[in-house]
Structure 1
Amino acid sequence: MVPRKKLPPPLTNDQFDDQVKVVTIPLPVFASSPNEGITYGALTAFLLHNKKDEVSTLLAPQVNLNKNFGTTFSLFGAGYPSASRSWEFNLSRSTNVNEDYELKLRDKTFFNEKLETNLFVFGLTDGSARFFGFQSKSRKDDETNYGDREFGVNLSLGYDLAKNLQVVAGNRLKSVSIVPGAVKTLPYIRDRFTPQDVPGLDGFTVHAQRLSLVYSTLEPRDLPEDGLMARGTIEISSPMLGSTAGYRHYEVEVKKYLPHNNGRFTGVGRLSYNQTLGSNVPFLERSILGGETTLRGYGRNRFIDSSYVLCNLEERIRLFRWAVFDVTTDWEIAPFVDLGAVMESFPEVSSKSFEFNPGIGFRAVVRPNIVGRVDLGVGKEGPAVFVGLGYPF
């Protein structure tokens, strides 16, 4: 128990008692992913409980070791002061190439909670980035490494047109540089590809505006267990507003949650289609599959082209509910299947283009807002393991 006056805002607010329950959980870290390799270290999670005995604030300092990045020091924090407000930050710096500074803010307290604002500010360098070439036929033998350095801001405003219908307008501004990476066992991207072959290799700027229409009956909002979400988005990048190239993104996404057996089992499915139209579109702005949120049998950005089709299916099964360090946690297992393909345009899709990634996930869920995740997927190039926070979709 810690006096609230020693935990100033935004760590606490009037939703906390004068004496705040703080649960401290030291944990080992062991992770492996296709791009980053093996990482190990330690973290300590500090969980701050509000008056309802819910985890309302999370702080997690961490130290990791990785043969590519050296030693990485990081501090992650997330707060959920109310159902209408949340914040999240990450501060991370390694001794070799990698760095990550992020701030996310969400607020839906304006205009009688009809207007939702989301702000994301970031600066990062990912020294594990990969490029194999374009199209679904890109070969493992052509794998290259580089450092993806980005700085930018993403702002969106969503207004509730009806109970379950929202229109969202957004603006995205970022600057991208391609620098030498941290994986010295692979060739540098510029040693195998030229800027004429790969637009954006000399760096690029994006200033894009988007408009989305979202229908959602998901409940609850942060960790949905039931409902439907359908979203259509168009985004336009124009040189007239500062972008390096002019192009358009179109995306349609549908997610469905089907609880059964009193919520112990939840079937979750996602179907999405993405298309990018334009000339000289930077390679990192095209339609991309691979990684912990799309095809979990491959590393991030494994397949790049002008369009993609993606289907994710998983069954989230609650094995048991257990209080660890006075924190009530749902322990879940989640067999899944990821199916997706990239292509120049949708009419060109064929069965040979699709990647089939079966796998299994293990999750620790602290409701109403925190998920720890380990997902193991299998692709044609072998297994891939991802460790992180939040559900993959």
Structure 2
Amino acid sequence: MSDADLAKKREGTFVTGLPDFSSDPVTGFGFGARTNVYWNGQRTNPFFAYTPYLLKLKANAAYYTSNARELVLGLDAPYYNGTRWRFKLDFKAQQNPANLYFGLTEATLGELRLPSTPEGGPTYATYEAFDRARKTLRPSQPGEASALVTDALSNRFRETEFMLNLKADYALGAGRWRVMGGYEIQHLSYKTFEGEPAEALMPISGEATEAPNGTSLLRRDFEQDRVFGLEGGWISILQTALLYDTRDFEPDPTRGYYFEVANEFSNRIIGSQFNFNKLFVQGKAYQRLPLGPRTVLAGRLGAGTIFGNRAPFFEFQDQWSPDGSINALGGRQSLRGYRANRFLARSVAFANLELRARLFETTLGKQRFTFAVAPFVDAGTVRDRWQDLGLRDIRASYGAGLRLAWNQSTIISFDYGLSREDKLLYFGLGQAF
């Protein structure tokens, strides 16, 4: 850490706990509790200046207006007991009925199209126009339950997940390089919303009403063998990674680099119901600039792909990273001007750039708070083959954020992202990268 930040780092054990008020355009407004217990040790500890903490225990619980709910428990011990080992243990139980699905190929890079509309039908340049058209009553198609139906829920599905993950990494040489191995077991189940009552609009008057939901896009793609995995089940995964990390302070760096090559292997021979392999590469860079009290230019590049002819659709939705998995492409972690999972295909590439400028800091009692602004630009694309990744059909968004740092380790973020399709506000704990 820099001398200035090191002088402000707290010794001993302390708790940061706060009500969890968050907002996401997909899951809605959330409330709950997020608590962290930190063991920082004393300044005499030789690791005090090199670790964000000696041990962290987190316990998070949240409920969202979309009826999503989540419980997360985690334990993180860098340089465990003064050794080169770092151990992480995570448990998650969550149910989210507001997941979005727009397709699973690079065709999602096109403009929005109603789930019931065939190729060549009308498209919508903005999400607002698309959402209104989706809710407008339409005549039913074969197999649908009513003469008139709505597509209000036809891009949505519900996911229920139970997950346990154990990871360990070992520092090589001076500690900049690390090798990591882990094991994760999950049970996943899914539901789509055919025939369920949903919002609707009358075709001519636009009057609000209610009608049965039509066939979901995910269900239709599954029945036509375009996607796999809607039946859910057990997923057993072996995780490996090679890491290079010179960041001075992991939660909020002012300088340094982070690079990783991460892989997930799932196969029936280790007890999984699905066979696939996921490879993800990313790099992050942080450089302090001679502007103001603390201004940092932060950037990230990432690319990933999935191997396996019958890889389940849900594995397309995120890229696994030991530094924190990334929902791609779209949403708070990758492309902040677009909805989560707006663009999905077998391969993904994206970039983020932020200018994090501290405005001021203050101390209340024994608690230290700093405030910063962070204008940003995000860009990315998806492809059906990793060999086709490039600069064609790039989707971009931009915006600005506010950052509140509590005792340096807990970062509260507010981000407002804009794109040609949408305008979205997010707030919650942690930074995008």
TM-score by length of 1: 0.79
Residue 276 of structure 2: aligned partner? 247
- Deviation string 1:227-260 (CA, Å, 9 cap, x unpaired) is 0111111221111112222111111111100002
1:299 aligns with 2:339: yes
Instruction: For 1:129 and 1:147, locate their aligned partners in 2 and report how far apart those are by CA, in whole Å.
Output: 6
Asked if the contact 1:76–1:89 (Cα under 8 Å) also holds between the matched residues in 2, the reply is yes
1:151 aligns with 2:162: yes
Aligned CA distance change for structure 1 residues 352 and 68 (closer, same or farther; 3 Å): closer
1:120 aligns with 2:149: no
Question: What amino acid is aligned across from residue 120 of structure 1 in structure 2?
Answer: D
Instruction: For 2:341 and 2:415, locate their aligned partners in 1 and report how far apart those are by CA, in whole Å.
Output: 17
| Structure 2 alignment gaps of length 5 or more | 1-7, 41-52, 116-153, 200-212, 319-327
Aligned CA distance change for structure 1 residues 201 and 221 (closer, same or farther; 3 Å): same
Residue 283 of structure 1: aligned partner? 313
1:273 aligns with 2:285: no
Aligned CA distance change for structure 1 residues 325 and 353 (closer, same or farther; 3 Å): farther
CA drift of 1:366 comes to 2.1
CA drift of 1:213 comes to 0.9
CA drift of 1:62 comes to 5.4
Question: What amino acid is aligned across from residue 161 of structure 2 in structure 1?
Answer: E
1:259 alignment partner, SS class: strand
More strand by share: 1
Residue 227 of structure 1: aligned partner? 256
1:363 aligned to which of 398, 403, 407: 403
Asked if the contact 1:128–1:183 (Cα under 8 Å) also holds between the matched residues in 2, the reply is no
Asked if the contact 2:23–2:425 (Cα under 8 Å) also holds between the matched residues in 1, the reply is no
CA drift of 1:74 comes to 2.3
Residue 37 of structure 1: aligned partner? none
Asked if the contact 2:105–2:384 (Cα under 8 Å) also holds between the matched residues in 1, the reply is yes
Instruction: For 2:282 and 2:25, locate their aligned partners in 1 and report how far apart those are by CA, in whole Å.
Output: 38
Residue 59 of structure 1: aligned partner? 17
The two structures, once aligned, show a CA RMSD in angstroms of 3.0
Instruction: For 1:73 and 1:328, locate their aligned partners in 2 and report how far apart those are by CA, in whole Å.
Output: 24
Residue 112 of structure 2: aligned partner? 140
| Structure 1 alignment gaps of length 5 or more | 1-49
The range that moved more, 201-210 or 177-186, is 177-186
Aligned CA distance change for structure 1 residues 260 and 294 (closer, same or farther; 3 Å): same
Residue 42 of structure 1: aligned partner? none
Aligned CA distance change for structure 1 residues 366 and 169 (closer, same or farther; 3 Å): same
- Deviation string 1:334-368 (CA, Å, 9 cap, x unpaired) is 11111111111233235442111111111111232
Instruction: For 1:183 and 1:60, locate their aligned partners in 2 and report how far apart those are by CA, in whole Å.
Output: 36
CA drift of 1:180 comes to 4.3
CA drift of 1:79 comes to 1.7
Question: What amino acid is aligned across from residue 351 of structure 2 in structure 1?
Answer: C
Higher relative contact order (CA 8 A, sep 6+): 2
Question: What amino acid is aligned across from residue 264 of structure 1 in structure 2?
Answer: R
CA drift of 1:308 comes to 0.8
Instruction: For 1:220 and 1:230, locate their aligned partners in 2 and report how far apart those are by CA, in whole Å.
Output: 15
CA drift of 1:54 comes to 8.9
Question: What amino acid is aligned across from residue 267 of structure 1 in structure 2?
Answer: L
Asked if the contact 1:159–1:168 (Cα under 8 Å) also holds between the matched residues in 2, the reply is yes
1:294 alignment partner, SS class: coil
Instruction: For 1:371 and 1:361, locate their aligned partners in 2 and report how far apart those are by CA, in whole Å.
Output: 12
Instruction: For 1:203 and 1:57, locate their aligned partners in 2 and report how far apart those are by CA, in whole Å.
Output: 38
1:44-123 mapped onto 2 (5 Å cutoff): 52=10, 56-61=14-19, 74-82=32-40, 83-93=53-63, 97-110=67-80, 112-123=82-93
Aligned CA distance change for structure 1 residues 251 and 144 (closer, same or farther; 3 Å): same
Instruction: For 2:401 and 2:270, locate their aligned partners in 1 and report how far apart those are by CA, in whole Å.
Output: 43
Question: What amino acid is aligned across from residue 14 of structure 2 in structure 1?
Answer: S
1:166 aligns with 2:178: yes
Question: What amino acid is aligned across from residue 309 of structure 1 in structure 2?
Answer: A
Asked if the contact 1:204–1:282 (Cα under 8 Å) also holds between the matched residues in 2, the reply is no
The range that moved more, 322-331 or 131-140, is 322-331
Aligned CA distance change for structure 1 residues 354 and 144 (closer, same or farther; 3 Å): same
Aligned CA distance change for structure 1 residues 108 and 70 (closer, same or farther; 3 Å): closer
Question: What amino acid is aligned across from residue 194 of structure 1 in structure 2?
Answer: F
1:175 aligned to which of 179, 182, 187: 187
CA drift of 1:115 comes to 0.6
1:377 aligns with 2:417: yes
Residue 146 of structure 2: aligned partner? none
Asked if the contact 2:24–2:426 (Cα under 8 Å) also holds between the matched residues in 1, the reply is no
Q: Which runs of 4+ in 1 moved over 6 A?
A: 63-72
CA drift of 1:70 comes to 9.9
Calculate percent identity across the aligned residue pairs.
Answer: 24
Q: Mark the structure with the bigger radius of gyration.
A: 2
Instruction: For 1:167 and 1:257, locate their aligned partners in 2 and report how far apart those are by CA, in whole Å.
Output: 22
Question: What amino acid is aligned across from residue 333 of structure 1 in structure 2?
Answer: V
Aligned CA distance change for structure 1 residues 94 and 385 (closer, same or farther; 3 Å): closer
Aligned CA distance change for structure 1 residues 105 and 189 (closer, same or farther; 3 Å): farther
The range that moved more, 72-81 or 96-105, is 72-81
Instruction: For 2:339 and 2:331, locate their aligned partners in 1 and report how far apart those are by CA, in whole Å.
Output: 5
1:194 alignment partner, SS class: helix
